[in-house]
Structure 1
Amino acid sequence: NLTNSMNLSAIGMHEISATVNAAWDEISFNNNTIETFIIDSVYAIVSSDSVCSGNDANLALAGSAANIQWQVNDGNGFVNITGANQATTSYAVTSNMEFRATYCNNKTSDTVSVVEINLLPPVTQNDTVCFDNPATLSATGSGSMNWYTAATGGNSIHSGSTYTTTVPATTTFYVEASTSGTGGSDTLLTTTQAGNGCGGGSMFNITAVSGAITVTGFDVSLTGQVSQTVNVYYRNGGFAGFETNAAAWTLVGAYPITATSVAGGTLTFVNSADFVIPQGLTYGIYIEANNHYTTGTAPGTTYTDANIEVFAGVGLCSSFGGLNNPRLFNGSIHYQSGCTSPSRTPVEAVILPVPAISLSASVAICQGDSITLDPGTITGTYLWSTNDITQTIAATTAGMHKVTATGTNGCSVSDSTNVIVNALPTVTAISSDPEVCDGNQVTLTGSGTGAGTLTYTWDQSVTNQLPFTPTSTEIYTLTGVDANNCENTDTVTVIVNPLPVVIGTATSPEVCIGDSVTLTGSGASTLIWDNNVDDAVPFAPSTTEIYTVTGTDANNCTSTDSVTVVVNLLPIVEANVSASAVCEGEQVTLTGSGADAYTWDNNVIDNVPFVPVTTLSYIVTGVDTNNCTNTDQITVTVNPLPIVIANATATAVCFGDDVTLSGSGADSYFWSNGVTDSVAFNPNATLSYEVTGTDANNCSNTDEITITVNPLPDVTLENFEVACLNFPEFNLSGGNPAPGTYLLGGTDPAITFNPSDFSVGFHAITYTHTDGNGCTSSAQGLIEVSECVGIAETAFGAGSVKVYPNP
């Protein structure tokens, strides 16, 4: 039979062939030899022929014996072991030793040998690397190299001659040399009773207590079917928390087996591949099979021997599922114990610092933006994936950006960041009305698409979707920001059309009742008045009113203006006259009352006398302080003047002649210049005489007549020469002007004068001249008739004397 151990308690001869490759195994039959053992009824048994230095060899004396005394030979002969008086005992192995027992006072058992396994501490090699680089540590020596985090205790982290790890700082690890499988085969039966079972199998923990162990197989109590495949898993750290996490487990192998029975308590061996549990570590074990497990095991139940501790776990009804907790595995664990070096050798991973740089794992920018990537300031150099060698770069494109920083110690470190370039949101600016009238409200609304929900802000203090009143035409900018904090803009123009400058005018701001007024609006294309007034159409208001015109321009903007039309009452005008009847040519004065100013027709001026020419009705228009007018009428009767004629007995008279003036055509007459009608008078000069005739209407008229008073002619008569009686008759002369008539004695016309006809003395001569006006005048002279005796001075007129001859 192929086995790792045999119970040779049966009396008789036994032949054993064994092969062991361990160089330290000094037992000859382990070197592929065949030995024959004859078993007496009393014989000595040792638990293992190889024992770790310092560990106990477990001794047993088989058969019936009394007065037992165990002895040891460490190379200096057998000596009694103090206190070892029982059939079983133990003794600490410190070298290669032999053991035997004396019994029944004079008998000695066979001798069993134990080889001391003394592992030296491993020799280690440190490694110096840059931060974040793997350090490869090595250890050499006998046995397997197990790596720990502490000089004693701690966690087992690795097995093998080399250990590659990455640590953040200089770290000391510890290596322990160990052997396994040197202690023969020990079996711990945790339980073999019948129990419940499920197709998922059992999970439990095994802890290597006193040294590393090698698990070589399991005895399982199957249920369900005789032939099945058993899957064996383990994981460092125990099963708790990983019952359903298949990825956390290592599959040792899948093993088809056939059970001799599926009855409760029947065990079937599963010869799994060997795996080592280092000293002090706990491995979770999962036997996935249709096997029995206990029902209702209390939590925390453990089974132990000198080398291992088994901790009750869970039962599973499916692979890594269907948990029943707590439950205990029914069966046995096959393992071999091993040896460890007396101490752990430190080994150091020396970590050189790398430059301290840091980039975010990812950064996001918006399309069109850039971001400054700065890993931090170091003493050393930089190299970016963009081939830039500066500390910072401005990233604008999407993708990974890597920087490698190298310090003065030659250590480099790299970091990278993923630059995410987020697309800008699509933003649309919307106005409730692209054109508004001044004073009207408008609402601006942002819409768009982008990452998440967009938020919108407007410039010029506008709030999204909140009405406001723009004051002028403006371009409003909308900024939309998405969940990535990317923003885009759009603009909308709101045209603010000015209100039309509507001006309402009235043809007169004040009118008199009954007058028409025309209201006219301007400044807009459409004009509408209240109070049923039509623009530019006259109407007669009855009371004082405020009229409002609403003007609408081509942009449909409206504005208003107001006009107050005051309606004043008419004055009560009365026409007055100084005389209701007058004579033609006489003045009359028309006056108005009841107003402030008056206008008369027919060119009459109020309160200014005028001469009406005919009987007529006169209308006065009175205007008060409100410029309101009213009228009244009055008739002025104009009596015709009598047709007065000035008559004269003669219109031309000579000075000193009488003339009689008389009037006709009226009833009574009055003459100027003191003349009495029809009474002769002597005018003394040419003069016009006016007669005023008055008729029954007491109307007077005048006429004028001029009486020419012709002056008498200026008649002269030259002195006559003395006429001698003897002078001849001579023509009368010397009267001037001519022609004229000479009268002798004032009565007798004469042309000549004959002195002889007259007596001596003076005789009167009258010269009479009648001018062209028929007026006559005369001049008197005397002719002296003389006898002409003696010499007398004679007056001669010029040229009256002629002397002849005159040579």
Structure 2
Amino acid sequence: TLASTAGCDSILVLTLVVNDTLLTDLGTVAICKGESYNFNGQILTSSGVYTDTLASTAGCDSVLILTLVVNDTITVDLGTVSICQGQSYNFYGNVLTSAGTYMHTVVSTTSCDTTFVLTLVILPNPIVAALPDNGFVCEKEPINLSAEATGGTAPYAYSWAGPDGFTSADQNPLRPNATVLMSGTYTVTVTDYNGCSATDTATITVHPGPDVTALPDNGIICENETILLSAEASGGTAPYGYSWSGPNSFLSTDQNPELPNATVQMGGIYVVTVTDANGCTATDAAAVAVYSIPVTDLGIVSICNGESYSFGDQILTETGVYQDTLEGANGCDSIVILGLNVHPTYVDSLSAEICVGDAYDFNGTPLTEAGIYYDTLTTSAGCDSIQVLTLTVNAILVEADVLPDTCVFKTLTLTALNLNPNDTVTYLWSATPPGLEIEDPTADSTTATGPAGNYTITLVAINQHECVQTFEFSACIYERPCEHPYIFVPNAFTPNGDGQNDYFRARGDDITEIFFMVYNRWGEEVYRTEDPKHPGWDGTFRGKALTPDSYGWYLRATCGNGQVYEGKGNVTLLK
């Protein structure tokens, strides 16, 4: 209500309308990692709830709300797959034959990519060569197969297969006593360490062997008659070749040779070897005796080497078949045959080695000195058998000592010296009673530590001839008490970097455990260690050098004998 110019009321009436702020939820939008979303000029790449405010037609705010979800892409490493050369691998429908890294991408339920990664390795195949190549053998000879593998990855396994049910896992198998059924192709498969394989073949032909019959069989003729030899071959592959050999250096390539004017020296064994067209052979023998009838065989007489045997008017000293001809009543000479076997004198050479101080039993005789010794024995034939022994006497020469020879604190020095440069010596140190620890019991020189006490230290030295030298030493170790002055803490140090007295630490030769702490005048800890070999406090705290002052310390130390030292005091830090 207002006053008009006339002094009357003037009333103003206003109608006010309040419009709502408009909120619009655009819902959820999903994208994949690495993508972006344009939200009214905003480029969005991260998951979250985003808003944008616009002006409505009524002049009020209109708020848009968007929920953005960023889904991850997935990479799955399938690892490494190995195949042999010539093989293939099916990778999601792709047939792979070359080494490399392969990827296959599929769309997941979130519409984002899932990538599978595979590394394919191609393993080299081995190479195998089988022998023989187109080889042949004759019946009853051995078939020698061989295979040589290279490449791939050793070790190799071999597998043979062949005619007549043949199998073998040997690299170089042998089939004895070949038959015709063993002819054919032999296949070898070699498999390397990775399971990759290779194959080769060897072709073998087994030729049937010939047979031969030699005549006469135990033929007997008189001197000056004709020896008629004959051979009949069959089997194998014709034509045949013949080769005869016999007494008196007889040789012939005739199938049926004739030997006129036989003499006693022509008597004996005639051997014929027939060779067929494939080079396969067969052998037979004909026995021919040339003498006057009757024939008297005196059998075999044995004598020893150096002896003689009287046969008619012959004095025999060598092994052989001997004849003596007598006049017979039937027109043929009477031949007496003697087989003489001369047993040799056997010489058995022996060698032996002993060590100095040992003895060698030589057929009941103890020997202690190097030399060559002889002993004569009797064989089962009653002849001499001589044994010759070469005896070598080996020595071991070592010097040893344990130092010092007085009672010592904690550590002993054990030394041994091989005085023979041609010897290889091994050592074994030991000690009684138990408790002394030897650093290297098999070294020539070493050290030993242990608790206080008296010990017996033994060294056994053995050379390559197994000769032994033994030493015994008495040794003593004394014990230091776990107290001052064997445990010492200084009262001042100067950490100025001049390399002298730069560190503050507790000192002791036999400290095995330690708790060492340093604190300032307000009781604040500035250094602590539990390392018996600690370098010490360098005068710093939290990386900063402290000012010169007096600091307190506390020490608790355990010594090697189990005793405990506990102490405290002050140290002055100087510059």
Question: Please, what TM-score do these two structures have when normalized by structure 2?
Answer: 0.30
Q: How high is the TM-score relative to the length of structure 1?
A: 0.22
| Larger relative contact order (Cα-Cα within 8 Å, sequence gap ≥ 6) | 1
> Considering only CA atoms, is the larger Rg found in Structure 1 or Structure 2?
1
